[in-house]
């Protein structure tokens, strides 16, 4: 027998979330969708739902992801963040894909190609947290000179990747100031200058014309704990830098994870269940085909079956075991949905939203609902 464990993605909710974000931040000319890591597991085929909601640029990690997007959309602008092998530069040119320059050494190799066609490039600036990117004015000046001296290298813009939203600490302000101090003498009206989601919490910077949305598109915003200590830190930040702008938007979780009961049984008090759990009383149990390989462990505490919470008492690489009576084979199991707060997962798993999405759904069968939001004209 085959039991269904599904990642169900609602393209109407994706479209609505994207439209809300695009409209709420319409003072940015360029609205990027960050689709790294196969769109955080949602699949690159969602690109047209984003474009319909007026996303005008897509940001990916690898050239492979960029070329996969071209299978679904030939027009959308694409920027690749990771290094592209020199021999693959022509694939970027032929598919109208922009590449990232993050070091002088890499640019010199590109410059040696003696290009006959135009290659669009954007320069990645280290935000001051010692990640990838250009970190000195001297190196940036040399990079600009090389680009200007090559008629087939087209400088499209500058960007950085902020690592703090600047709500509970000052790193956001240090990072945007570092970014500006490096690029300010090269700013021109025709260049794209973009930063990522921390911009959502702050007043617009005059020289920034692009904002990159990532997990907010899928209904998962930064999780800011509401407590006295956090509120005290927020007040201190606002006292020093001015009022923050918390987005007043209603985003919906676009996906759900469901499974089916594949086996039920009874165990007696004192018997072993799974590897470690010893039954303290006679129990009815159910086995569900989802486990560690899918990012699901007993750390999430429970799932929903037949309208009740069922405690997870054991877990393995490919299944979990729950306790509860009146459960039958093929009963539907709700693991993630709008009713179960995704932020509850973040708290229980003691992780952040990016790591959660990197492990939560890798091996599940994806299905898309409301597919009219991904192709053809909307009604």
pLDDT digit string, tens, across residues 11-47? 999 999 999 999 999 999 999 999 999 999 999 999 9
pLDDT in tens, 189-221: 899 999 999 999 999 999 999 999 999 999 998
CATH of segment(s) 255-369? 2.40.37.10
CB 335 within 8 A of CB 345: no
Helices (H), 25-70: 36-40, 47-52, 63-70
Other CB atoms closer than 10 Å to residue 45's CB: what's the count? Answer: 21
Stretch among 211-220, 242-251, 323-332 having the lowest mean pLDDT: 242-251
Mean pLDDT to the nearest integer, 356-362: 80
DSSP 300: G
Distance CA 291, CA 276 (A): 16
Q: Is the pLDDT of residue 177 over 90?
A: yes
The rounded mean pLDDT for the chain is 92
Q: What pLDDT shows up at residue 370?
A: 96
Q: What is the CATH number of domain 11-241?
A: 3.20.20.10
The number of angstroms, rounded, from the C-alpha of 333 to the middle of its chain's C-alpha atoms is: 26
Does residue 119 have a pLDDT over 80?
yes
Distance from C-alpha of 78 to C-alpha of 57, rounded to nearest angstrom: 6
Distances (CA, A) of 52 to 26, 87, 225, 276, 371: 15, 34, 33, 50, 12
Q: What is the pTM (predicted TM-score) of this model?
A: 0.93
Which residues are bridge partners to 100 per DSSP? 122
Exposure b/e, 17-27, CB count within 10 A at least 16 = b: bbebbbeebee
Task: Give me the residues paired with residue 285 across strands.
Answer: 265, 323
- Residue 376: the pLDDT is 54
Q: Give the pair of three-digit tokens for residue 337.
A: 């949905």
Q: Which residue ranges does the chain devote to CATH 3.20.20.10?
A: 11-241
Give the model's pLDDT for residue 111: 95
**Phi and psi for 258 in degrees, rounded to 5?**
-130, 160
Q: Which residues contact 226 (CB under 8 A, 6 or more apart)?
A: none
What 3-state DSSP class applies to 235?
helix
């Amino acid at each position: 027998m085959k039991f269904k464990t599904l990642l169900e993605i609602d393209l109407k909710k994706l479209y609505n979330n994207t439209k809300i974000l695009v409209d709420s931040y319409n003072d940015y000319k360029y609205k990027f969708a960050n689709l790294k890591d196969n769109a955080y597991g949602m699949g690159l085929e969602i690109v047209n739902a984003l474009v319909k909601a007026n996303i005008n640029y897509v940001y990916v990690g690898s050239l492979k992801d960029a070329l996969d997007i071209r299978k679904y959309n030939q027009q959308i602008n694409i920027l690749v963040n990771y290094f592209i092998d020199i021999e693959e530069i022509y694939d970027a040119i032929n598919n109208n894909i922009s590449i990232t320059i993050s070091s002088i050494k890499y640019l010199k190799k590109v410059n040696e190609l003696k290009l006959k066609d135009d290659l669009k490039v954007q320069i990645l600036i280290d935000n001051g947290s010692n990640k990838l990117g250009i970190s000195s004015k001297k190196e940036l000046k040399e990079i600009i000179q090389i680009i200007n001296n090559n008629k087939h290298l087209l400088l499209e813009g500058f960007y950085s990747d902020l690592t703090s939203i600047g709500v509970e600490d000052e790193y956001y302000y240090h990072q945007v100031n570092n970014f500006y101090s490096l690029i300010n003498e090269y700013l021109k009206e025709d260049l794209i200058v973009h930063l990522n989601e921390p911009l959502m919490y702050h007043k617009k910077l005059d020289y920034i014309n692009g904002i990159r949305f990532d997990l907010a598109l899928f209904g998962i915003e930064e999780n800011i704990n509401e407590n006295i200590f956090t509120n005290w830190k927020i007040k201190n930040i606002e006292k020093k830098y001015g009022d923050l702008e918390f987005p007043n938007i209603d985003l919906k979780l676009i996906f759900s994870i469901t499974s089916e009961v594949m086996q039920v049984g009874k165990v007696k008090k004192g018997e072993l269940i799974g590897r470690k759990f010893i039954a303290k009383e006679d129990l009815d149990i159910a086995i569900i085909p989802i486990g560690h390989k899918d990012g699901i462990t007993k750390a999430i505490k429970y799932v929903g079956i037949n309208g009740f919470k069922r405690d997870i008492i054991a877990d393995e690489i490919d299944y979990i075991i729950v306790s509860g009576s009146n459960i039958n084979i093929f009963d539907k199991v709700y693991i993630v949905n709008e009713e179960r707060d995704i932020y509850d997962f973040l708290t229980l798993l003691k992780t952040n939203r990016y790591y959660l999405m990197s492990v939560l759904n890798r091996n599940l069968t994806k299905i898309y609902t409301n597919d009219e939001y991904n192709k053809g004209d909307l009604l």
